[in-house]
Amino acid sequence: MLALLLALSLSGRGGSSPSPPILAIPINQLTAPSQNSPWRVTHSSAPVRVGVANGVSYFDFLVCSDPTTCWISYVERPWTIPLTGKTSVSLSYSIAGNAPVFDYRTSTNNTCLGAASLSLLLHQAGDNLSGQGAYAFYRWFSWQEAQPLALGDHTLTVPLSVDKWVSVYRSTPEAIAAGFASALANMGSIGLGLGGGCFAAHGVTVTSGSARFVITGFSVQ
DSSP state of 67: T
Burial pattern 38-60, b for ≥16 Cβ within 10 A else e, equals: bbbbbbbbeebebbeeeebbbbb
- Could you tell me the pLDDT band of residue 150, with boundaries at 50, 70 and 90? very high
Residue 4 lies inside a defined structural domain of this protein: no
Residue 82 lies inside a defined structural domain of this protein: yes
Residue 99 lies inside a defined structural domain of this protein: yes
In the predicted model, what is the mean pLDDT of residues 136-153?
97
**What's the domain range around 127?**
40-220
Residue 112 lies inside a defined structural domain of this protein: yes
Residue 174 lies inside a defined structural domain of this protein: yes
Average pLDDT over the chain, rounded to an integer = 87
**Residue 94 and residue 100: Cα distance in Å, rounded?**
14
Residue 9 lies inside a defined structural domain of this protein: no
Helix (H) or strand (E) holding 175: helix 173-185
Q: What sign results for the dihedral spanned by CA atoms 65, 68, 157, 219?
A: negative
| pTM exceeds 0.75 | yes
Q: How many domains does the chain have?
A: 1
Residue 69 sits in a domain whose CATH number is: 2.60.120
pLDDT per residue as tens digits for the range 99-113: 999 999 999 999 999
Residue 169 lies inside a defined structural domain of this protein: yes
Contacts 24+ apart (CB under 8 A), 11-14: 11/170
Residue 15 lies inside a defined structural domain of this protein: no
DSSP state of 169: S
